[in-house]
Amino acid sequence: MDSTTNAADTVANNPDDAVTNESESNASVTETNASVTDTNLAAANASTNHAGKASKASAAKKKHSKSAHIAKAHETKRMTTAQTRESMMKNLGVMVLAIIGLGMLLAYDFSHYVANRGVDMLLDDDGSAGKDPEYERAEQVWAEGHPMEAVEMMRNYLKTHPREQFVALRIAEIYEKDFRNYLAAAMEYEEVLKKKLPPENWGWNAIHLCNLYSKLDRQADYDALLHRIVNEYGKTSAAVKARKRLGLPEDGGISVAETPRNESEEIDVPVKSSPPPDEPPSNLPPGFRPK
């Protein structure tokens, strides 16, 4: 109570000092508040700057992560595209090889088909290729006893059907059997042998031509053709016959094919430099052969 009284007395006695003290006190509080405010503002600014930096760092990190993700996605896409392209190229290569292989097989089968058809057209043993009406008319004329007219008709037919060489062989047969014109028959066989024939057919037609050469006493041509059969068609049954006629030793391992239908007509002609014929000479008149 005494303190309060003294303070009051002091205020009462010194009013200016009291006002001064109050002003100083208020100024001090104001300064303190300003300092606190500044401190708070600085702290707030620091916090804001830190938050901004953190936000920027986070944004940069997210951007980097997104860029890395995009780059990885592009790399994965490129790898996938490359793998897809490589797989497509492999599949395309396999498909091309398959097409080439299929084409080769088809070409092989087609060539064999064409070759077989060509053989059937060139040399027809059963007469099936001679069913053309024009050719049948020529055979009918021959059967009626007009061989020369039949030959002319066959020649005309052969001009329009050059692949059907059985017609040329038929002409040679007519010259040989009907006209006994061995030279004309030999010339027909020579033309036939210029064609591309199967080895067995070529060989046996060559043997028949050798028989004609023997009848014409053309020994040099006879020997030359036999040697050609042996050298160029050595694996055929005709070569076996040729070696036998030339007196050459038989090669081992050669299987003799089935004798052609008209072999008996082709091998019964004796030759000066060849071994004796396989069959005994016939007692029939010249030009006739045993059946």
Summarised one tens digit per residue, pLDDT across range 10-45 is 444 555 554 445 555 555 556 656 565 666 656 666
Domain co-membership, 207 together with 86: no
How far apart, in whole angstroms, are the C-alpha atoms of residue 51 and residue 57?
10
Based on the fold, state whether residues 100 and 135 are members of the same structural domain. no
Identity (one letter) of the amino acid at 186? A
- 127: amino acid identity, one letter: G
pLDDT score of 170? 96
Q: ∠ CA(227), CA(229), CA(230), 5° rounding?
A: 65
> Are 98 and 147 contained in the same domain?
no
Residue 223 lies in a domain: yes
- Cα torsion 214, 215, 217, 220: sign: negative
Residue recorded with tokens 């897809």: 84
**Residue 10 falls within a domain, yes or no?**
no
Is 2 within a domain? no
Contact 135, 167 (CB under 8 A): yes
Decide if 184 is inside a domain.
yes
Q: Which of 146, 218, 134 has the alpha carbon at shortest distance from 179?
A: 146
Do residues 32 and 160 share a domain?
A: no
Does one domain contain both 134 and 249? Answer: yes
How many domains does the chain fold into?
2
- pLDDT of 185 > 60? The answer is yes
Coil, helix or strand at residue 249: coil
- For 20, the domain range is 16-104
Q: What is the pTM of this model?
A: 0.47
- The one-letter amino acid at 122: L
Residue 3 located in a structural domain: no
Residue 290: inside a domain, yes or no? Answer: no
Selection from 52-56, 158-162, 282-286 with the highest mean pLDDT:
158-162
100 and 125 together in one domain: no
Domain shared by 71 and 152, yes or no: no
Domain check: are 99 and 128 in the same one?
Answer: no
Q: Is residue 157 part of a domain?
A: yes
3-state helix, strand, coil in the chain (%, to 5): 75, 0, 25
Window from 93-102, 158-167, 234-243 with minimum mean pLDDT:
93-102
What is d(CA 187, CA 99) in angstroms, rounded to the nearest whole number? Answer: 48
How far apart are the C-alpha atoms of 210 and 206, rounded to whole Å?
6
End-of-domain residue from the set 49, 78, 104: 104
Residue type, 79: M
